[in-house]
Amino acid sequence: MAKKNFERADVLDKVITLFWQNGYAASSIQQITKATGLKPGSLYYEFDSKEGLFQAALARYATFSIEAIHQLMANTTSVNAAIKLILTDLVKQSKACDYCGCFLIKTQLELASQGNKIYQFASEQLAHIEQVYVGYLSKNLSETQAKAYAAQLMTVIFGIRIYGYQADSASTITQTINALLPWLNEAE
């Protein structure tokens, strides 16, 4: 058996961008092999299928997203302040010329009509992210209120990630955040 000459994480990092930009259906095996430098056999051996590779890429993206939340929460004076920073960063991202939204949300939108395993996996990852917010919000709020605020927050994040494709949307998004999440400005 031949020795594996690649790192799984490196392969995933390379395909995340491809899948993120093109989506699942529009990313061909030829594009994947070009992006990774691997032969199809190596990809299939390591990930079983294009679907397996895509799911592993989604999982890596979700892990990075959750780690970023934890890091901001740890380095900020309050939960609300950290959430404001997260939202501000999302608005900044939406202004970039190469804006690409959220990989998980784009996957949900692409595959919603199919309701397949990848769609369900993306939904589970987004639910996990919401639970991370519930955990932090629960430090200062009742469980019921934390869940309600986390759902509101995720709704706004979805909106930012989608509305961000509109030209010159940053100002509108910021106004909307302030209108929909007035609790962010309350003292903790």
Q: Are 54 and 45 in contact (CB under 8 A)?
A: no
Contacts of 101 (CB under 8 A, 6+ apart): 161, 162, 164, 165
Question: Using CA atoms, how far apart are residues 23 and 103, in angstroms rounded to an integer?
Answer: 8
Confidence of residue 69 (pLDDT cuts 50, 70, 90): very high
Q: Are 106 and 20 in contact (CB under 8 A)?
A: yes
Please check the confidence at residue 78 and state whether its pLDDT lies above 90. yes
Confidence of residue 1 (pLDDT cuts 50, 70, 90): very low
Residue ranges of E strands in the chain:
none
- The one-character DSSP state at 4 is P
Q: Are 44 and 56 in contact (CB under 8 A)?
A: no
For 16-66, the pLDDT digits (tens) are 999 988 999 999 999 999 999 888 988 888 899 999 999 999 999 999 999
Question: Using CA atoms, how far apart are residues 1 and 98, in angstroms rounded to an integer?
Answer: 42
Phi, psi of 91 (to 5 degrees): -65, -45
Name which of 5-9, 47-51, 74-78 the model is least confident about. Answer: 5-9
What is this structure's pTM? 0.90
Question: Using CA atoms, how far apart are residues 29 and 39, in angstroms rounded to an integer?
Answer: 9
State the pLDDT at residue 4.
61
Question: Using CA atoms, how far apart are residues 44 and 52, in angstroms rounded to an integer?
Answer: 9
For 108-166, the pLDDT digits (tens) are 999 999 889 999 999 999 999 999 999 999 999 999 999 999 999 999 999 999 988 88
- The one-character DSSP state at 77 is S
CATH: 2.60.120, 1.10.287, 2.60.220, 1.10.357. Which one for 59-185?
A: 1.10.357
Q: Note the Cα 104 to chain centre separation in Å.
A: 5
Which amino acid, 83? I
Please check the confidence at residue 3 and state whether its pLDDT lies above 90. no
Domain regions of the chain by residue span: 59-185
